[in-house]
A and B are shown apart, each in its own frame.
Chain A
């Protein structure tokens, strides 16, 4: 639209007062929308806090859950199981994700790097329940459920998150640092391991923490891969292990109010862990950005 046209449009729009009033209305709507989003966050977190805090006790944290329907137990087995499943997933996904990012930012020509980036975005968009079906077909069909299978699925969910953030921070590393390293005649692999990666370390930690936070609450693949569990606190990853998200899912489907209370308490533990990781991850990112820009 040319300036003359838009000027004419502004004149045509009637009295200034009406335009101002409409403007205020839009301002109000936009503020209300932001308020609504923040309010929903506070309501959800508040509900979890309010209803979960009462049921939280040392007993709840240190006792394994009983048979289905028995609500006298706690979530010790689920905490241990979740820790094992997520730790194995992280041990697989974080190194692979960072190496992948190194490949696309340091080695691959754009013609290869670009499709890989695209593939990661597609992988990121695959519903996690589908990832669950994949690992089910790969490891569980004709076999039995295992925590390790769940870890593989969660690792696939983590991979694009780790790799994409790592790509982003690696490409933020100042070109001058790379040139300085080249000027010293250093071999590329040394430059990457001694200059590029350490400079980007904060951002790499951020991506990894966000990915861990994301999959700790992931439930869909666990239902298919590690849901039929034995009694007591189990630690063998070749068996199916209990997990916090699955405990919440199962308790939320139960009609009993006691089970619901337990679900809220477990949700409180999970949400506290996830939000804490998010806050720590953001802090790391802010620090690392500042360092690179300095």
Chain B
């Protein structure tokens, strides 16, 4: 931004040397920093494609549907890991979204004003726990609990469904999905809570004035008003769940095949890279990079969609007109 006062020739002449150097220097340096960020994105795409090159030319698009992962016969396919990523992240999102909405309702409508901030801070802190520690907890605390309590219970009630069939085990899709739920919940909550807070008070009061109970007010005012924010938050949480490598690698058991039972061990794209990349070479390493490329595409697409939706929701908040408010 150029200050208009400085464009006057007399003032411009008075600017001393440091100012004449300082302005372009700061502008240049800061512009360079922006270029670094853009270069990082371009570099990531280039390197992942480059490393995946041999696998791309060897397997082509068939990589996606091939469910073989065999270092001995050098046949590699992404299907088991696409399945694992889809199953674990979807379960995580299905569990985390209603949980996050409920937490946000509690934090914006229900909780006594004094404890709102401390509780919100505690929920945020859940996101600060390093994932490797969540994984450790998953291996040694949650896993055994799943094997001894939750999974036998699910099996005895819903065991006729193939997904709840099979022997309970500490490691597997379900344990991984629960760890991802714990990771996604604070992320979804922080966005939904923010969106809930933007719901105009007069809309809420109008609903109460019509005799609505708190839940009816939430269902008729808060939720419709926040719909795009909730969807965006959910997709954002999905992006986080898809990309998590460490905690999942610790608890999913590292099997390279598709299992119908959620109790069974499996693998996800990110976890497979984390557990095999350093000890692989040649075509296997390239195949892992190919998995990385698929994961990268997923992550970018998911994030773009989420940002656009959240952004659109925010824009709507700004120019909410009386007629629009009535439409709710």
B278 interface residue, CB < 8 Å from A? yes
Which of chain B's residues have a CB closer than 8 A to the CB of A280? Answer: none
Within 8 A of B (CB), among A176-232: 182-183, 185, 187-190, 192-193, 213-214, 216-220, 223-224, 227-228
Known: A116-B34, A125-B302, A252-B139. A30 touches B277 (CB 8 A): no
Interface residue A88 (Cβ < 8 Å from any Cβ of B) = no
| Chain B, Cβ-Cβ closest to A32 | B102
**Is there contact, CB below 8 Å, between B273 and A253?**
no
- Residue contact B37 to A27, C-beta cutoff 8 Å: no
Tell me if B129 and A274 are in contact (CB < 8 A).
Answer: yes
A166 to chain B, nearest CB (A): 11
B150 in contact (CB, < 8 A): no
A129 touches B245 (CB 8 A): yes
| B1–A125 CB distance below 8 A | no
From known contacts A133-B51, A187-B22, A282-B121, infer whether A41 and B126 are also in contact, taking CB-CB under 8 Å: yes
Q: Are B216 and A30 in contact (CB under 8 A)?
A: no
Chain B residue, CB-CB nearest to A155: B40
- Chain A contact residues, majority secondary structure: helix
**Per-position binary interface string of chain A over residues 20-53, scored 1 when its CB falls under 8 Å from any chain B CB and 0 otherwise:** 1011001101111110111011011101100100
Query: With the chains together, A248 CA to B140 CA distance in Å?
Result: 13
For A188, list chain B residues within 8 Å (CB): 1-3, 23, 26
Give complex CA distance A190, B136 in Å. 50
Q: Does A57 contact B (CB under 8 A)?
A: no
Asked whether any CB of chain A lies closer than 8 Å to the CB of B260, the reply is no
Q: Are B133's CB and A48's CB within 8 A?
A: yes
Are A7 and B210 in touch, CB under 8 angstroms? Answer: yes
Q: Please report the C-alpha to C-alpha distance between residue A20 and residue B213 in the assembled complex, in whole angstroms.
A: 7
Q: A224-B277, A252-B136 are in contact. Are A278 and B44 (CB under 8 A)?
A: no
Given A129-B270, A133-B51, answer yes or no on A223-B278 (Cβ-Cβ < 8 Å). Answer: yes
Name the interface residues of A70-112: CB closer than 8 Å to any CB of B. Answer: 95-97, 99-100, 102-104, 106-108
Report the stretch among B57-65, B152-160, B182-190, B314-322 that lies at the interface: B182-190
Specify the main secondary structure of chain B where it touches its partner: helix
**Nearest Cβ on chain B to A231's Cβ, whole angstroms:** 19
Given contacts A29-B102, A134-B48, A189-B23, whether A122 and B304 have CB atoms under 8 Å apart is yes
How close is B42's CB to chain A, nearest CB, in angstroms?
10
Report yes or no: B243 in contact with A37, Cβ–Cβ below 8 A. no
Q: Is B83 an interface residue (CB 8 A)?
A: no
Cβ A36 vs Cβ B22 within 8 A: no
Contact of B136 among A136, A187, A264 (CB under 8 A): A264
Cβ-defined contact, A129 with B274, below 8 A: yes
**Count of residues in A whose CB is under 8 Å from the partner chain:** 102
Is B31 positioned at the interface, with any CB of A under 8 Å from its CB?
yes
What B residues does A242 contact at CB under 8 A? none
Whether the pair B133, A44 counts as a contact (CB closer than 8 A) is yes
Residues of A within 8 A of B139 (CB): 252
| A64 in the interface (beta carbon within 8 A) | no
Q: Does B135 reach chain A (CB closer than 8 Å)?
A: yes
**A134 contact set on B, CB distance < 8 A:** 43-44, 47-48
The residues of B that contact A252 with a CB separation of less than 8 Å are 132, 135-136, 139-140, 250
Decide: A119 and B30 in contact? CB cutoff 8 A: no
Q: Does A137 contact B (CB under 8 A)?
A: yes
Rounded to whole Å, the gap between the CB of B308 and the closest CB of chain A is 9
Using Cβ atoms and an 8 Å threshold, which residues of chain A touch B189?
A: 37
Complex interface bits, B262-286 against A, C-beta within 8 A gives 1, otherwise 0: 0000000010011001100000000
5 contacts between A and B (CB under 8 A): A99-B32, A129-B274, A249-B246, A267-B132, A270-B130
Question: B residues touching A (Cβ–Cβ < 8 Å)?
Answer: 1-3, 5-6, 11, 15, 19, 22-23, 25-27, 29-34, 36-38, 40-41, 43-44, 47-48, 50-51, 99, 102-103, 105-107, 109-111, 119, 121-123, 125-126, 128-137, 139-141, 182, 185-186, 189, 206-207, 210-216, 218, 220, 239, 242-246, 250, 270, 273-274, 277-278, 289, 292, 295-296, 299-300, 302-304, 307, 326-328
The 6 residue pairs across chains A and B that have the minimum distance between CB atoms = A217-B130, A127-B243, A125-B303, A33-B102, A103-B30, A137-B47
Interface residues of A (CB under 8 A from B): 1-3, 6-7, 10, 13, 19-20, 22-23, 26-27, 29-34, 36-38, 40-41, 43-45, 47-48, 51, 95-97, 99-100, 102-104, 106-108, 116, 118-134, 136-138, 141, 156, 159-160, 163, 182-183, 185, 187-190, 192-193, 213-214, 216-220, 223-224, 227-228, 245, 248-249, 252-253, 260, 263-264, 267, 270-271, 274-275, 278, 282
